[in-house]
Homo-oligomer: A and B are copies of this chain.
Amino acid sequence: MGTTGAITDASLRAFVGYDMKRAFNALQADLSRTLTPFGLRMMTFSALSLVVENPGLRPSQLATVLTIERANLVVIVDELEQRGLLTRTPSTTDRRAHALHVTDQGQSLFAKANRAVAEHDARMIAGVAQHLQPQLKDALRQIENSAKQDVV
């Protein structure tokens, strides 16, 4: 067995950051399994969702919302475009820019994937008391804001 008895991470458990890392890692691993049948990853699913919700979105805007660099978005859009899930058409008003639109095929795949993700998310949060669920989301958004403002 071990050294003497049980191993403890009590010191780290004092940090909400540690709890978040563990929860998110476990959730992410499980979500990946949910998305694999659709040929999607977290990032490609999120990108698809945002283009569905914001037709005509430009790549740079999408990168901003996803908080990743434009450079990294290129391969994501490449992948989705090559699979015929979205289109990249030149902008009519700005010849530098492109407009992103989801194809019918992309819409269809997204609808199915979104249902699966919704079910997955429900499973994840099921163990949290109903009345605490909105407060949990509020707390997470508050932490996101605290972390961003802390940059200063």
- Footprint of B on A, CB under 8 Å? 2-4, 7-12, 14-31, 33, 42, 46, 49-50, 52-58, 61, 64-65, 67, 99, 114, 117-118, 120-121, 123-128, 132-133, 135-137, 139-148, 150-151
Q: Point out the residues of chain B lying under 8 angstroms from A132, CB to CB.
A: 135, 139
Q: Could you tell me the distance between the alpha carbons of A46 and B115 in the complex, rounded to whole angstroms? A: 36
Question: Do B54 and A117 touch (CB < 8 A)?
Answer: no
Question: Do B135 and A135 touch (CB < 8 A)?
Answer: yes
Q: Could you tell me the distance between the alpha carbons of A77 and B127 in the complex, rounded to whole angstroms? A: 36
Question: Do B118 and A15 touch (CB < 8 A)?
Answer: yes
Question: Do A29 and B140 touch (CB < 8 A)?
Answer: no
The answer to whether residues A147 and B19 also contact, given A8-B54, A53-B11, A54-B7 and a CB cut-off of 8 A, is no
The answer to whether residues A19 and B140 also contact, given A3-B99, A147-B27, A147-B29 and a CB cut-off of 8 A, is yes
Q: Point out the residues of chain B lying under 8 angstroms from A99, CB to CB.
A: 3
Q: Which residue on chain B has the smallest CB distance to residue A125? A: B16
